[in-house]
A and B are shown apart, each in its own frame.
Chain A
Amino acid sequence: MTETGSWFERDPLWFKTAVFYEVHLRAFFDGNDDGSGDFRGINEKLDYLQWLGVDCVWLLPYYPSPLRDGGYDIADFYGINPDYGTVDDFRHFVDQAHQRGIRVIADLVMNHTSSDHPWFQASRTEPAGPYGDFYVWGDDDTRWGEARIIFIDTEPSNWTWDPVRGQYYWHRFFSHQPDLNYDNPEVQRHMLDVLRFWLDLGLDGFRLDAVPYLYERDGTNGENLPETHEFLRRVRAEVDANYADRVLLAEANQWPADVVEYFGDGDECHMAFHFPVMPRMFMAMRREDALPMVEILEQTPEIPDGAQWGLFLRNHDELTLEMVTDEERDYMYAEYAKDPRMKLNLGIRRRLAPLLDNGRDEIQLMHAILFSLPGSPVLYYGDEIGMGDNIFLGDRDGVRTPMQWTGDRNGGFSRADFQQLYLPPLMDPVYGFQAVNVEAQLRQPNSLLRWLHRLIALRKGHPVFGLGTYEALRPENPRIFAHVRTYQDDIVLCVHNVARSAQAVELDLSRWEGLIPEEMFGRTRFPRIGELPYLLTLAPRGFFWFQLRKEDGA
């Protein structure tokens, strides 16, 4: 019997104040000594995740798959990749996580399947059969030429010839990932069944991968079509009707004005990633200028009350530069991808710490900014200890190396032989597991891990970060990124110095005259806010978060 679900207070908006943690199962911990991470493994690390304070674990795809795209090429929506365990192992993990107050969401790819999926095999061999119309087939490989090619490094076209069926099939991603045909009601019905299957097992929601591309229409670029939103409304209605407190998180790598469409009128996805803010944070650090962040936040439309942005610094993909101008992209490549091996498609395949030259102040400042913005932060496994990458590994494997638990063999990730590991752990002198690991950082009171743990706890103690309004302050000093978050009586002032040098800034806080800024980490009281501009000095890459309190301490 599953007990899943009875561990949480009912809270349909839990995701708005949550801290998410993205886990690549294969990379996290090997529970059965075969060289590859699995459900048993992550189960053993729940004490760690609970200590870290994350509210929700996001699992990359764990379905049976030929793994030509890290599992995003799903060959069976109802199973578990044998490397990771069984459906029982999955259920056990979700239950154990729930017992510790941690929710679990998982990736689901609705747009396409692996070409190994039985639906596709049936579709190509039996065009008149029940699955004949499950995919997008055509005789003309020039149709829908307005649709861009996403994986420009590997794919010459969105059409690929299938010699078996004697037709072209449509694919927005790799040619081994044929797009499902959502004009077929049977496809819609099947996908809803898939959603129900996992929700019934206790899953708390989905990250919906590649969601803008479900439909194709003549004369359009095939992204963000009305029909796609129509289907998402159907999905949301199904979830709302039968499953309490679940979340749908859209991966729509689009401009903010297009992404907000995925919230609908509060009747599509609960969350969507804010893609464009992330490259601009990196840009701001290099240029020592807060403007790129301020601008993109200004251009970000309001979202419905029950909706939330998902914010991240890095994830399992390349640092994507699709949502920047050509000029900005050139700048990013020049600054962050000096070695051509670091580039992939329209992005940079590196982890957070190497991107920031392993600068502790920079890593902390980026996290502080991330945690201060309106949205829910999504951490990527390993970044909490400042793991590095290996740009000599292919595709995106360089940022998917084994989690570094200890300084022991295989970084404590697996007891298997080194040769059996799915990827070699990092062993270089700077980022290797002997220098960077969980165990050592737990024991060092001043480690990045311990600092981040405090940051998470602080954020969770103040719902204002998840629920509050956002108001940019525009100080004259362009190197200062400052804003005020307000939720009910809780007013928080966040001031960040993106410059490499110490800075002074005068902030117009006259609206909060009479209040006392209290620094939130050390609970130190600063001088009372008066009529005159409020002067602050910040260390290089330093930041302050203040709670603005009344005189009596209320």
Chain B
Amino acid sequence: MNGVSLVDFITSQRWYGSKTRAVSEASVVDRATLRDNLELELVEVVFDTGTHETYQLLTDDGGYDALADEEQARELLRLIRAGEALPAQDGQVQFAPVAGRAGAGDPRTARLIESEQSNTSVVFDDELILKVFRRLEAGINPELELLRFLTEAGFENIAQLAGWYAYVGLQMEATLGIAQHYIAGAEDGWERALDAIVARDDSFVETLRRLGGVTGQMHTVLGSNTADPNFCPEQTSAESLGLLTATVDEEIEAVFASLPEDVPELDPIRGRGEEVRERLRLLTNLGGAGRVIRHHGDFHLGQTLWDGKDWVLLDFEGEPARSLPERRRKRSPLRDVAGMLRSFAYAASAATALRGVSPGGWEERARQLFLEGYRETIDHNLVPSGAAMDKLLSVFELEKAVYELRYELNNRPDWVGIPVAGIARMLDEEVPV
């Protein structure tokens, strides 16, 4: 089509994830006709090393990118609303509406969102947003799985699920796309935090108590179903705390063994590697690691929206770099909490770096309010009690900060001060007792 080969088309797309790898071939492994002149194709990209990735394409006689055509994009929503099941060569493409939420009739407008990295999203009538997954992995996508679960459980602080479509066939079973309620005019938590710090607007930080409460509620709901094996909270194994300790300890050791000499931002923690390891040992002295549950998996301010009245939590896909089975694995909910707390640290520093405003005490206030809200709503059976929770949370924060330190040293030396401050703060704090 148009003289561009399939390989060249896919490998030049923004959503193509493996740009550095040598591709040996790309081929269509299954296809379904969605209507006249609209095909859904599963394309397998094979690498020289023998592994492969599978991508979703929507094609028409205009080329490989039918979604760019408003009318073709509208067809996908029509099919979801109609709950169609269309045959593919070796399987089926199934479209499913959520009763009462999918809307009806023909959408009037369809607007492609340009900014996305790994997926393609289309907004219909400013009411629904359809996220089309490009890289497909076998198994249910955690975003669909979690949204469905949270919606059924009546958890309201999400963009409600309106429908989805999926491929079921010989090649794999995979989620192809998800339609959700579109929240028009909302602002994401990261931008709001920066604006509020700059404007010295205290009303924003007060809403973080609510964000903590919503987060605790989300975890409580996610850990509430003991009948569904995919969601049932599990006890951690006896040695899991030991594994966590060993993993973080070795990370600390490795990072501190190779700190560059010529970065003055490192001074607050330079030569203090053993102190950090000692702190880790004190923190991991706790009875148990609580329970593991399904959780958000990539939780930070950028994944939240303020709709004017309340918080909405977004993007349940998990960390994109991890494999799908790994993203679906149960882990401690406190990892989400640690992610958000670290995100506060980044917001405070970004306000200084990007907007020249010193936030003076904002991060501490944000932490305090968020955690207060979280403690009020979290099911206490899911987390260790009392000081043990504080300790475990600190371990996860330390793990994240050490990871950030390594990442920033390698990629963004100007930002090194953020994890450094986080680690230094933990060293200066009292160990919770």
Expressed in whole angstroms, the Cα–Cα distance for A52 and B172 within the complex equals 31
Let me know if A99 is at the binding interface, CB within 8 A.
yes
Q: Take A99-B323, A405-B238, A443-B284 as given contacts and tell me if A47 and B138 are in contact as well, using a CB distance cutoff of 8 Å.
A: no
CB <8 Å contact, A442 and B245:
yes
Q: Which of B48-56, B73-81, B150-158 contacts A (4 or more CB under 8 A)?
A: B48-56
- List, in ascending order, chain B residues with CB within 8 A of A408's CB: 238
CB <8 Å contact, B52 and A443:
no
Q: Mark B229-252, 1 if CB is under 8 A from A, else 0.
A: 000000001111111011101100
CB proximity of B329 to chain A, nearest CB, Å: 9
- List, in ascending order, chain B residues with CB within 8 A of A96's CB: 325
Q: Mark B210-226, 1 if CB is under 8 A from A, else 0.
A: 00000000000000000
Q: Which of A7-15, A367-375, A392-400 contacts B (4 or more CB under 8 A)?
A: A7-15
Let me know if A450 is at the binding interface, CB within 8 A.
yes
CB proximity of B241 to chain A, nearest CB, Å: 8
CB <8 Å contact, A1 and B138:
yes
Q: Mark A428-452, 1 if CB is under 8 A from B, else 0.
A: 0000000000111111010000100
CB <8 Å contact, A438 and B51:
no
Contact of B51 among A3, A9, A406, A450 (CB under 8 A): A9
Task: Specify which of B47, B51, B243 lies most central, judged by the most chain A CB atoms within 10 Å of its CB.
Answer: B243
Of chain B, the residue at the smallest CB distance from A47 is: B243
CB within 8 Å of A: which of B258-284? 277, 281, 284
CB <8 Å contact, A445 and B49:
no
CB <8 Å contact, A1 and B51:
no
Q: Take A443-B245, A443-B246, A450-B246 as given contacts and tell me if A406 and B325 are in contact as well, using a CB distance cutoff of 8 Å.
A: no
CB <8 Å contact, A10 and B172:
no
CB proximity of A47 to chain B, nearest CB, Å: 6
Expressed in whole angstroms, the Cα–Cα distance for A400 and B24 within the complex equals 47
- List, in ascending order, chain B residues with CB within 8 A of A441's CB: 242
- List, in ascending order, chain A residues with CB within 8 A of B250's CB: 450, 453-454
Contact of A6 among B51, B240, B281 (CB under 8 A): B51
Let me know if B326 is at the binding interface, CB within 8 A.
yes
Q: Take A1-B172, A1-B173, A99-B326 as given contacts and tell me if A442 and B242 are in contact as well, using a CB distance cutoff of 8 Å.
A: yes
CB proximity of A160 to chain B, nearest CB, Å: 46
CB <8 Å contact, B325 and A438:
no
Let me know if A45 is at the binding interface, CB within 8 A.
yes
Of chain A, the residue at the smallest CB distance from B237 is: A44
CB <8 Å contact, A406 and B238:
yes
CB <8 Å contact, A48 and B239:
yes
CB <8 Å contact, B138 and A8:
no
Q: Take A1-B172, A6-B52, A9-B50 as given contacts and tell me if A438 and B323 are in contact as well, using a CB distance cutoff of 8 Å.
A: no
CB <8 Å contact, A445 and B238:
no
| Count of chain A residues near B, Cβ 8 A | 31
- List, in ascending order, chain A residues with CB within 8 A of B249's CB: 445
Of chain B, the residue at the smallest CB distance from A51 is: B243
Task: Specify which of A7, A11, A442, A453 lies most central, judged by the most chain B CB atoms within 10 Å of its CB.
Answer: A442
Q: Take A47-B237, A99-B325, A99-B326 as given contacts and tell me if A442 and B51 are in contact as well, using a CB distance cutoff of 8 Å.
A: no
- List, in ascending order, chain A residues with CB within 8 A of B241's CB: 439, 443
- List, in ascending order, chain B residues with CB within 8 A of A442's CB: 239, 242-243, 245-246
CB <8 Å contact, A10 and B281:
no
Q: Take A406-B238, A445-B249, A445-B277 as given contacts and tell me if A10 and B50 are in contact as well, using a CB distance cutoff of 8 Å.
A: yes
CB <8 Å contact, B239 and A405:
yes
Expressed in whole angstroms, the Cα–Cα distance for A441 and B52 within the complex equals 39
CB within 8 Å of A: which of B323-338? 323, 325-326
CB <8 Å contact, A443 and B242:
yes
Let me know if A412 is at the binding interface, CB within 8 A.
yes
CB within 8 Å of B: which of A1-54? 1, 3, 6-11, 44-45, 47-48, 51
Expressed in whole angstroms, the Cα–Cα distance for A469 and B131 within the complex equals 53
- List, in ascending order, chain A residues with CB within 8 A of B173's CB: 1
- List, in ascending order, chain A residues with CB within 8 A of B246's CB: 51, 442-443, 450, 453
Expressed in whole angstroms, the Cα–Cα distance for A441 and B238 within the complex equals 13
CB <8 Å contact, A3 and B138:
yes
Of chain B, the residue at the smallest CB distance from A3 is: B138
- List, in ascending order, chain B residues with CB within 8 A of A45's CB: 237
CB <8 Å contact, B51 and A412:
no
CB proximity of B281 to chain A, nearest CB, Å: 7
Of chain B, the residue at the smallest CB distance from A9 is: B49
Q: Mark A94-106, 1 if CB is under 8 A from B, else 0.
A: 0010010000000
CB <8 Å contact, B242 and A439:
yes
Q: Mark B279-308, 1 if CB is under 8 A from A, else 0.
A: 001001000000000000000000000000
CB within 8 Å of A: which of B83-135? none
- List, in ascending order, chain B residues with CB within 8 A of A9's CB: 47, 49-51
CB <8 Å contact, B138 and A51:
no
CB <8 Å contact, B323 and A10:
no
Of chain A, the residue at the smallest CB distance from B281 is: A443
CB within 8 Å of B: which of A207-251? 244
Expressed in whole angstroms, the Cα–Cα distance for A405 and B236 within the complex equals 13
CB proximity of A298 to chain B, nearest CB, Å: 38
Expressed in whole angstroms, the Cα–Cα distance for A450 and B250 within the complex equals 9
Expressed in whole angstroms, the Cα–Cα distance for A440 and B239 within the complex equals 8
Task: Specify which of B237, B242, B281 lies most central, judged by the most chain A CB atoms within 10 Å of its CB.
Answer: B242
CB proximity of A522 to chain B, nearest CB, Å: 9
- List, in ascending order, chain B residues with CB within 8 A of A47's CB: 237, 240, 243
Of chain A, the residue at the smallest CB distance from B170 is: A1
- List, in ascending order, chain B residues with CB within 8 A of A454's CB: 250
24 cross-chain CB contacts under 8 A: A1-B173, A6-B51, A6-B52, A7-B323, A8-B50, A9-B47, A47-B240, A48-B239, A51-B243, A51-B246, A99-B326, A405-B239, A406-B239, A408-B238, A438-B239, A439-B239, A439-B241, A442-B239, A442-B242, A443-B241, A443-B245, A443-B284, A450-B246, A450-B250
The 7 closest A-B pairs by CB, nearest first: A10-B50, A442-B242, A9-B49, A439-B239, A406-B238, A442-B246, A439-B242
Other A-B pairs, 4, CB within 8 Å; known A8-B50, A439-B241: A9-B50, A10-B51, A438-B239, A443-B284
